[in-house]
Amino acid sequence: MLTITGLCHTYPNGVRALDGINLEVPRGMFGLLGPNGAGKSTLMRTIATLQTPTAGSIRFDGMDVLAEPMRLRQTLGYLPQEFGVYPRVSAEDMLDHLAMLKGIVNKGERRELVAALLQQTNLYDVRKKALTGFSGGMRQRFGIAQALIGNPALIIVDEPTAGLDPEERNRFHNLLAEIGEHVVVILSTHIVEDVSDLCPRMAIIVGGRIVAEGEPHALVEALHGRVWRKVVARQEVEAYRSGFRVIATRLVAGRTVLHVLADTHPGEGFEPVPGDLEDVYFATLAETRAAGPARAAA
């Protein structure tokens, strides 16, 4: 179990990136959803001991992470949003080098480990290929391979499917789901479908604060009866924005489909929407920003 209590971080320029984060992350896949600039990457870097927070505590399986960062790193696998590699080195040689840096000094043990990781991430057939020739999805799978060195108990992946085509995204989802059966995996993303497809528990972060948390189906159920749909002309959208709490718009054949948040029937032409995790996400953003736009925009 990963337990985060009262975590705050303010950058030297005065930006408050984390504002009292309290979170419990159980074993398995855990999704962290939020818009760009919400504090996701700051939180991931802090958990990974790459930066020290202004205040708060982080504990993992009884370990004080902030007091013992090296101990946490021994059991951590991390795939950051920007994952750099040596482009002219082969996947096999790069994994061998990283395994040595992680303390696996026996050459035979490293060879077996590297082969197993390449098989697990479906990269064994291209193990001799230079990383510069890898597609985006192959690079992300290589990123997971390096994160798995040392059998980590905690794995952090930050925006892992951004820019992947549907086939690679599906392959990456399957890989994460397999890994998440045994360890704590935190999936930080702004892509709602990634969380709905993979994570039995999740949280939404806005303006450095956790504004919603729980099981995706329970969060969807809590929104039941509050989301309404109406198709309007494109030129009418701004008028509706001024009179209703519009949480999402989608242009279809020159007309706009509005999703509106309201506790009672908002008026003529509106019909109820069963709702899904995307509606939960947009409704949470709308409610949070309406309650405190200055804080949520941080």
Which pLDDT tens digit goes with each residue over 212-262? 999 999 999 999 999 999 999 888 999 999 999 999 998 888 789 999 999
Angle at 81 between CA 23 and CA 186, to 5 degrees: 30
Cβ-contact 213, 202 below 8 angstroms: yes
pLDDT at 296: 40
pLDDT of res. 266: 93
Comma-separated ranges of CATH 3.40.50.300 domains in the chain: 2-89+140-215
Separation between Cα atoms, residue 295 and residue 298, nearest integer Å: 6
Q: Rounded CA gap, 235 and 232, in Å?
A: 8
pLDDT in tens, 9-22: 999 999 999 999 99
DSSP for residue 15? -
pLDDT for 58 equals 97
Helices assigned H by DSSP within the chain:
40-47, 69-73, 91-101, 107-120, 136-147, 166-179, 192-198, 216-222, 237-243, 277-291, 293-296
Amino acid at 232: V
- In Å, how far from its chain's centre is CA 261? 25
Checking if the pLDDT of 189 tops 70, the result is: yes
pLDDT for residue 298 is more than 60? no
CA angle 66/147/177 to nearest 5° reads 105
**Percent share of the chain, pLDDT over 70:** 96
Q: For position 234, what pLDDT does the model report? A: 86
pTM: 0.84
Give me 88's structure tokens.
């002219």
pLDDT digits (tens, 9 = 90+) for 53-68: 999 999 999 899 999 9
CA–CA separation, 136 vs 61, rounded Å? 34
pLDDT the model gives residue 143: 87
Lowest mean pLDDT among 79-88, 178-187, 209-218, 243-252: 79-88
pLDDT for the residue 74: 86
pLDDT at 293 over 50: no
Q: Furthest-apart CA pair in the chain: how many Å?
A: 72
DSSP secondary-structure letter at 226? -
Looking at this protein, which amino acid is placed at residue 110? R
Is residue 294 very low, low, confident or very high in pLDDT (cuts 50, 70, 90)? very low
What is the Cα–Cα distance from 138 to 168, expressed in whole angstroms? 8
Note the Cα 274 to chain centre separation in Å.
25
pLDDT at res. 292? 67
Neighbours of 256 (CB within 10 A): 18
What CATH architecture does domain 2-89+140-215 belong to? 3-Layer(aba) Sandwich (3.40)
Distances in whole angstroms, Cα of residue 276 to Cα of each of 20, 127, 166, 192: 28, 40, 21, 10
Which ranges in 233-273 belong to alpha helices (H)? 237-243
Q: Which helix (H) or strand (E) holds 46?
A: helix 40-47
Rounded to an integer, the average pLDDT of 136-154 is: 87
Would you say residue 267 has pLDDT above 80?
yes
Which phi and psi angles does 156 have, rounded to 5°?
-120, 125
DSSP 90: B
| 39 has pLDDT over 70 | yes
Question: In this predicted structure, what is the pLDDT of residue 221?
Answer: 93
pLDDT at site 171: 81
Residue 95 has pLDDT above 50, yes or no: yes
Cα–Cα dist 32/12, whole Å: 25
Q: Which two tokens stand for residue 278?
A: 């995307």
